[in-house]
Amino acid sequence: MNNLDNNKLITGQGAKLNPWPVISSKVIGDFKIFTLKATCKRSPRTGVKSTYYALETLDWVNVVAITPDNCMVLVEQYRHATNTLELELPGGMMNPDEKDPIAAGCRELREETGYGGDEPCIIGSCFANPAILTNRSHTILVKNCREKYPLEWDSGEDIRIQLIPVTDVFDLVAAGKIRHSVILAALFYYKLFTSHFN
């Protein structure tokens, strides 16, 4: 019996949870980087119908790029929704024609920082926010990163590249200097990966 089963017995929630049947679904807005969909569903428990709204968008990639001297490549950039400067991992949205998160992550790393490296691999994937978003966020680890390529910033990007010793990155998290939730998830995947395989 796993922990979830134990929790179920402790709280008395013995009935299995099931997906909610879809009654109808339609796109009610298209906003370039996402579409807004309204879906009517029926509760399996109560039979009540309710409408739920979701943003459909492409998957995201975030890159943990480690240099030969064990620094992490970070980027600082302005975020328009919060009107704040945020310290983050390189990354972004996959292009519509991209199927491979690893290739997309290497592209984002190259475009934003000019860095490239060896042995890129996925070390974790999660739903960005399953309450309102349909996409997943993939964490890509790239080793032995070096500055190799010219920068390819688009007209809406202003970026400051920072090399931070890996040993200092989690101090920045603890100090509230890294605040982007998806980036924090990616750093958690890195912590898990290194604790298991190093």
End-to-end CA distance of the chain: 30
Cut 0.85: pTM above it? yes
pLDDT tens for each residue of 123-145 = 999 999 999 999 999 999 999 99
pLDDT tens for each residue of 11-56 = 555 678 899 999 999 999 999 999 999 999 999 989 999 999 999 9
What's the CATH class of domain 60-197? alpha beta
Q: Do domains 3-56 and 60-197 have the same CATH topology?
A: no
Angle between helix axes 181-197 and 166-174 (nearest 10 degrees) is: 140
In the CATH scheme, what is the code of domain 3-56?
Answer: 2.30.30
Domain ranges of the chain: 3-56, 60-197
